[in-house]
A and B are shown apart, each in its own frame.
Chain A
């Protein structure tokens, strides 16, 4: 019988125990567990995830352990045939508090969620970053995310002209 907890080794050489239920929320770890059935129970290495980030992921998994498994929905247009972008509203209060962290931490969790294939967490982080991008001017986005402006004025003018914007939109 499989043990109730498994151990993983993080990129900073720390071994962390997590319950099988939480581990199985990660498709990556789940696949590893399936592959290692019958083998010696060694710590699963997660060379791309630090212990700090993994703890955050476990926190999220703990809170959402009873959530129904996400179902891949087929995107359908509504009756009015109006396209709407994916809803980026974060409704869960706990999730709102969870994403209330430094952007760098958010990005680390996003990458970890991508690597570990935790769909719900990945989507939450994407939503949060999308919300950060919304309503900001290009300058504000550059400042917020530390991005260098490598577009020429000609490029910008062409883009603005194409969409009827003005110079002040930058």
Chain B
């Protein structure tokens, strides 16, 4: 019997191919063993072994579109990982179990640990590190932490947030990866955008007060994981909202006290064919026509709106009142109604948001407010009497309380 091993490789492979041609009656185990032996002998110099089952992929074994990446053997994926920086390596560990396993490989972490300067760590830390013999990754991780602590305590790193000033005429901010775009007064024109490049390891940035941008970062941060943006509304208020949570949907409409002008009424009457009274009582706040009216007529509709776009993921924002106090508005509580305290002001800020995530800031006078409140009250009672769904939620509850 001919032992495959004593055949010249070329002949074995020819025979293999012939068998495949004849009727694909191939002893796959034998074939893969031959090919595997063949590969082992000439061991690829990348340090990457060929996978054993290469020969098993035959005609008809179509690779599933969703699983084709699995056909790359771990050794090759490991080789790919050698081109990744530490942050990317940490990130791919969160992809799947397979990636986690590969990204923990000592081959990837040992050089990183060895390259880190041990001298920066005190004796106690070194002793602690010496007890950690589970993996190079863990060693590297602990070492980094220790180094960071050392540097902070030595005053070499300032862990406090850094800040920079925004221009006085800043009107809006947008967030694009590691860049903040600031639109100035005439923010419709892109050429006026001022761009601030954030540090590569920026982890978070928030806007505080009206003109100070804070951002903080950590060593070995993975990426910018959270962003907060802010808007100034006139002179009184700024809001701050976060991308970290899910979206909020708040209605807009006449029940919330929008004083619709004659022009607005005309628009609605023309579009819906309803009378003013019908509109006020029956039209839901997120009625597309009403939202459309706001978009189309803007200030002319009587709302004197300032429109701020909120990211779809936003779930809360902070409103700073004119007295400097901050109010956190969270989605599960719905957007808050103006309080009695605010009604003492000449102008009140009423926040409304439609499902396209546009935040409207409405400024109305006290007189207009009282008028609107009366209407709300009557509507609210009607709703209660009819035992229908309380569509007005917390808004009316808050108002009731403030009246008491």
Tell me, yes or no, whether B180 is within 8 Å of chain A by CB: no
Q: Which of A12, A32, A85 contacts B82 (CB 8 A)?
A: A85
Binds A, one of B93-101, B161-169, B189-197: B93-101
Could you give, for residues 97-123 of chain B, a 1 whenever the CB lies within 8 Å of some chain A CB and a 0 otherwise?
111100000000001101111000000
Q: Is B307 an interface residue (CB 8 A)?
A: no
Given A31-B42, A77-B114, A83-B115, CB of A151 within 8 Å of CB of B97: yes
| B69/A163 in contact, CB under 8 A | no
Contacts of A119 in B (CB 8 A): 45-46
Q: How far is the CA of A101 from the CA of B94 in the complex (A)?
A: 26
Roughly how many angstroms separate A163 CA and B379 CA in the complex, as a whole number?
Answer: 54
- Is the beta-carbon distance between B45 and A72 smaller than 8 angstroms? yes
Known: A81-B115, A163-B220. A138 touches B44 (CB 8 A): no
The reply on A36 being an interface residue by CB < 8 A is yes
* Docked pose: A168 CA to B313 CA in angstroms: 11
- The reply to whether B94 and A130 form a contact with Cβ atoms under 8 Å apart is no
Given the known inter-chain contacts A107-B72, A170-B94, please indicate yes or no for A86 contacting B225, CB distance below 8 A.
Answer: no
Evaluate contact between B55 and A48: CB separation under 8 angstroms.
Answer: yes
Residues of A within 8 A of B92 (CB): 133, 138, 141
| B16 CB contact (under 8 Å) in A13, A45, A87, A141 | A45
B96 touches A151 (CB 8 A): yes
B76 close to chain A: CB less than 8 A: yes
Tell me the bound Cα distance from A39 to B9 in angstroms.
12
Question: What's the minimum C-beta distance from B35 to chain A, rounded to whole angstroms?
Answer: 8
Binary contact readout A82-118 vs B (1 if CB under 8 angstroms, 0 otherwise): 1101111000000000000000100100110011010
Closest to A127 in B: B83
Contact of B88 among A28, A72, A83, A134 (CB under 8 A): A134
Tell whether, in the assembled complex, residue B45 and residue A136 are in contact, meaning their CB atoms are under 8 Å apart: no
Chain A count of residues within 8 A CB distance of the other chain = 67
Interchain CB contact under 8 A, B100 and A28: no
Known: A13-B21, A44-B13, A136-B91. A169 touches B223 (CB 8 A): yes
Q: Could you tell me if B42 and A77 are in contact, using CB atoms closer than 8 angstroms?
A: no
- Give the Cβ gap from A116 to chain B, nearest Cβ, in Å: 10
Q: Restricting to B35-54, which residues have a CB under 8 Å from any CB of A? A: 35, 39, 41-42, 44-46, 48, 50, 54
User: Counting CB contacts under 8 A, is A137 at the interface?
Assistant: yes
Instruction: Assess the A83–B223 pair: CB atoms within 8 A.
Output: no
A155 to B220, CA, bound (A): 20
Structural contact, A138 and B55, CB atoms closer than 8 A: no
Closest residue of chain A to B15 (Cβ to Cβ) is A45
Query: Does A88 lie within 8 Å of B90, measured CB to CB?
Result: no
Residues on the A chain within 8 Å of B86, using CB = 85
Min CB–CB distance B124 → chain A (angstroms): 21
Known: A48-B54, A111-B72, A164-B218. A151 touches B94 (CB 8 A): yes
Which residues from chain A sit less than 8 Å from chain B, CB to CB?
Answer: 9, 12-13, 27-28, 31-32, 35-36, 39, 42, 44-45, 47-48, 72, 75, 77, 81-83, 85-88, 104, 107, 110-111, 114-115, 117, 119, 122-123, 126-127, 129-131, 133-138, 141-142, 145-151, 155-156, 159-160, 162-166, 168-170
The 9 closest A-B CB pairs, nearest first, are A83-B115, A130-B83, A45-B17, A36-B10, A88-B83, A138-B94, A146-B66, A168-B225, A145-B69
Give me 10 A-to-B residue pairs in the complex whose CB atoms sit less than 8 angstroms apart, sorted by A's number. Answer: A27-B44, A35-B9, A45-B13, A82-B115, A85-B86, A110-B72, A111-B54, A126-B79, A142-B95, A151-B94
Q: A47-B16, A77-B115, A81-B117 are in contact. List 16 more A-B contacts (CB 8 A).
A: A27-B44, A110-B72, A115-B39, A115-B50, A126-B76, A133-B84, A138-B91, A151-B96, A156-B94, A159-B100, A162-B141, A164-B218, A165-B222, A166-B226, A168-B226, A168-B243
